[in-house]
Structure 1
Amino acid sequence: MNPRETFGGGVAVITGAGAGIGAGVARYASRLGMTVVIVDIDGDAAAALRDELSANGARAIDVVCDVRDAVAVADLAEKCYRDLGPVRLLVNNAGIEQFGYLWDTPVENWNRIVDVNITGVFNGVRAFMPKMIATGEPTWLWNMSSIGGVASVPLQTPYIMSKHAVLALTECLRLEVDLAGHRHIHVQAVLPGAVVSNIFDTAGGVADGDVAAAESQREAMLNIKAGAMDAVTAAEVVFEQSADDRFYLLTQPDYVSSAMTERAEILSTQRAPRLRATQRFDPAAH
């Protein structure tokens, strides 16, 4: 099956769709002929994308929703199934970043990472999965992890931790769906490499402690962003792999696979993670 045959004509619900890879998924889904539900906490960004897609002839709906709010996400699921019909694709994508040493990280920033990146995914699964089960129709559920979900990276610990958690959640959910016999539900993990996004610009930092180290890591990530993959191109790759019934959906297969191989080697040899030269922070330079 190709992506148009698999997804065309269905409903796609995408959280964090106002920008970055979420917006790329929304744009590509609309090209496939899907009805796109653009979910974001930023109402202006969601409305702007709705207008863009609608102007191109697509059916798009914008919804302001905070994925941290379980009741709001449940209401979203109810509205989608009531007004639009069965959801063919749910993308739990909403996520935020954090820079700085873990011991300098503000408690409120840590809690926000956990609430958005991890609990937001759980809220999406819990709100939509019973409805997906009940319809008995083929449906796809993507949870957005990251290349960071198979890596160890200093000065981004809360984010990296959250993406490991999302990957583990998705792997376990896949087993539970199989165990329960829900063959019509395709659970898949998305692991993007560097994709154009504003996630680094809007990431949390630190107010106390080693501010220079936190901002140096932000600068390094912004430099990577300059050569990052276009979000729509990334979405196209992910849709193709999803339609091919893969579990791990990789935006840059060779690059992300190399990180997966390195992770497997670390675990199989039980060696400690090692800093790369590019990860070493020189305080004297700041």
Structure 2
Amino acid sequence: MDSADARRTFGGGIAVITGAGAGIGAGLARHAHRLGMTVVLVDVDERAVTKLRDELVADGGTAHVEVCDVRDPDALVALAERVYSDIGPVRLLVNNAGVEQFGYLWDTPVANWNRVMDINVSGVFHGVRAFLPKMITAGTPAWVWNLSSIGGVAAVPLQAPYIVSKHAVLALTECLRLEVELAGHGDLIRVQAVLPGAVKSNIFEAAGGVEDGDDRAAESQREAMLDIKAAAMDPVEAAEVVFEQADRGDFYLLTQPDYVSSAMADRATVLTTRVPPQLRTAQRFDPDKH
């Protein structure tokens, strides 16, 4: 895929990416670097983002490490202040940080539920609240990408907290796009929702489980997701697709357009026909078919 158009749009700008230490966050950072962007790598894992920064700098890029927990709104506000004062105006904000959770909903520890919601949903809100006013004030074209998921248009058993969070992020992003337009900033600020399909990540290994209850069900779902991961898309390839769609002006940015679009169509059918969710045998993701 030719990235020349995306390079003209994004090259030379500053990208702030949360959850940049691994998975699609790292893939987006690597491709942003390839496009000529200065990358601000935000994560709670200092070792991971420091290693990535060193890699990008060694490749001739400019990258900065910011250790920050997106659950902390004050920390995000302080991060935005540092970026704008020390580095410059942000062209691309990627609210990507996210975690998973497996197990029956009634077995899910309250702390695990709160962790998923605080990172996956509130973390996006905190990022928008900290950066968007500054992006508007800067008066230059800018993009906000919020990471939903194919799970944001699906119902999946044994992953309810994650699925709920990604539905919420999609709704948040759709509302935010309308609000930016309503406030008169639609020509300047592009708000877009990223819906990755199966992309290689360590999110399944790091996912929470259950302490009491049916831990076998939780772990069986983890194993099923790890099987999907084995055939998943490379994060840098996924990032390239996302950047190209963003430059084209799409709102829904899909890492595997046919695969994710199929899930979106299934969701639309469920809502229009009002058929209750149906249990289906999990199918292995085959990248050659999508």
TM-score (norm: length of structure 1): 0.97
CA-to-aligned-CA distance 1:33-85 (integer Å, 9 cap, x gap): 00000000001001000001011000000110000000000011011111111
Query: Does residue 234 in structure 1 map to residue 263 in structure 2?
Result: no
1:173 counterpart letter in structure 2 = L
Match of 2:160 among 148, 157, 161: 157
Inter-partner Cα distance in structure 1 for 2:281 and 2:48: 38
Deviation of 1:238 after TM superposition, in Å, equals: 0.0
Match of 2:93 among 90, 95, 100: 90
Inter-partner Cα distance in structure 1 for 2:212 and 2:184: 51
Inter-partner Cα distance in structure 2 for 1:204 and 1:27: 27
Matches within 5 A, 1:1-286: 2-182=5-185, 183-278=187-282
1:283 maps to none
Inter-partner Cα distance in structure 2 for 1:108 and 1:216: 21
1:91 counterpart letter in structure 2 = V
2:24 counterpart letter in structure 1 = I
CA-to-aligned-CA distance 1:101-160 (integer Å, 9 cap, x gap): 000000000000010000000000000011011011000000000000000000000000
Instruction: Structure 2 unaligned segments of length 5 or more: list them.
Output: 284-290
1:97 counterpart letter in structure 2 = E
1:278 counterpart letter in structure 2 = A
Deviation of 1:2 after TM superposition, in Å, equals: 1.3
Inter-partner Cα distance in structure 1 for 2:282 and 2:92: 38
Inter-partner Cα distance in structure 2 for 1:153 and 1:77: 35
Inter-partner Cα distance in structure 2 for 1:49 and 1:245: 29
CA-to-aligned-CA distance 1:150-171 (integer Å, 9 cap, x gap): 0000000000000000000000
Inter-partner Cα distance in structure 1 for 2:37 and 2:282: 42
Overall identity of the aligned pairs, in %: 72
2:286 maps to none
SS at match of 2:15: strand
TM-score (norm: length of structure 2): 0.95
Inter-partner Cα distance in structure 1 for 2:78 and 2:234: 32
SS at match of 1:186: strand
Deviation of 1:278 after TM superposition, in Å, equals: 2.9
SS at match of 2:270: helix
2:62 counterpart letter in structure 1 = R
CA RMSD of aligned residues (A): 0.8
1:86 counterpart letter in structure 2 = P
SS at match of 2:94: strand
SS at match of 1:277: coil
1:17 counterpart letter in structure 2 = A
Deviation of 1:253 after TM superposition, in Å, equals: 0.0
Deviation of 1:20 after TM superposition, in Å, equals: 0.2
